[in-house]
Structure 1
Amino acid sequence: MPDDEGEERRKRGFRPSFEYRQPEGSKGKSFILIPEGAFTAENGAVTPIADAVDFFWTAVAADPRRWNASLKGYDWLLAHAAYASREDLRRTLGWLEGAISLRDRAGAVAACRYLAAMPLVLLASDHGRLSAIFNSRKVGMVWQITPFLDKTPLPSGPIPKFGEEAGFGLIRSSPELYLKLAMLSPEMESIVSLLAAEAIRYNVSLPPPLVTLAQADRP
């Protein structure tokens, strides 16, 4: 049976950044553990048994807040997002859900950055889960906490706070993703346009395409 995971690692191409030579007279395999991954070395051949991408997903699965424990893996995923798989999407949505639950704004932004770089057709394959995550003002919006903030129109229940701001504000930090989400369906377009319109009312800076979308939703 072919080793599919091993083949994927070989394709990703992580290697030690130095030339490894086994000690004179050494027999058997040597083990190398570096940020690029874990490798075995034997008779001049270096074989990956886990690479930086494996490290990344393992860290995120254990604790979504540890996404930056393997930035080499994250950077590789970003650079190759055009070739992301359904499994990559599933893992990333789980990471995002975990980051939101743990109020890890930086992690949520990082997950959205990866999602935004994925092909639209891949995102469409999990429309329901995306809708469940992003149909949320607490996730998308950001409000400046001041003595003059009118809390009446804000969502009910606790709103995550980050310094002098409330809400994750993902429409501000990940506008490219929200523009892609709006392309998925009329339902998602409505969600994004209403959110963008609210963001503009609260003086949140948005790129022109989102401003246009918000204006198109006006009666």
Structure 2
Amino acid sequence: MKTMCIPKGRTAAYDTLETDRLVVNGCLKVAHALKAKTISGSGVIFAGTLSADGIRAREIEAAAVYCLRLSAKRVQAAEVFASESAAVSCYLCADYVAADHLEVALHDVGKIDAREVVSLPTKKVHPFWMLLASVLRLFQILLSVFCAVFHTGEIMDAEYRQVREEPPAERSKDPRDEELERFTAIFKLLRNSGYTLKIIPGTPEENAPALDFEAEKNRRTAA
């Protein structure tokens, strides 16, 4: 008999998978069909469709499950068909479940088609363990408060250098020359764009040459 095993802490992914005996203690992901004679283990199974004679796993999530006997802690599937029996001890979520004998605790099932349905009682927690859990939570809160109060905020194993703060510069008593600032900005813009700024003597507007389009020559404007 061919046996395939997924060890604990490992994840295996397949498009389709078919084997005789499958042991899943880790995580198995099958995109489409998963077929085996028997499936066992304490791991998690994700599959499109799951078909086997006997299935015993911790958690199953599939579109459809077809088997003779099903035993799991949690099952989520659109359809579950168990010819002989199905037992889900923690939570069963499905649109349709068909089984000869169904044992289930908490469930969210659209329709159940079974000859016999048994509701499993939820596990009760002993008061001692509830008290112990409360004490541990209280200790964790006190520890976090203690760390917050006495934490110095220093980072261990890190270089430390004091930052010197320079005094702010004194404000200039001279008024702002907006014209000079505008000229400086224009000069920097032209220089960065590849232009050269050239200063030439100004010419009075009344003596500026005017272009005579008819004679196509320069003439002086009459005074």
Normalised by the size of structure 1, how large is the TM-score?
Answer: 0.25
Q: Which has the higher strand share?
A: 2
Q: Which has the larger radius of gyration?
A: 2
Structure with higher RCO (Cα < 8 A, 6+ apart): 1
Normalised by the size of structure 2, how large is the TM-score?
Answer: 0.25
Q: Which has the higher helix share?
A: 1
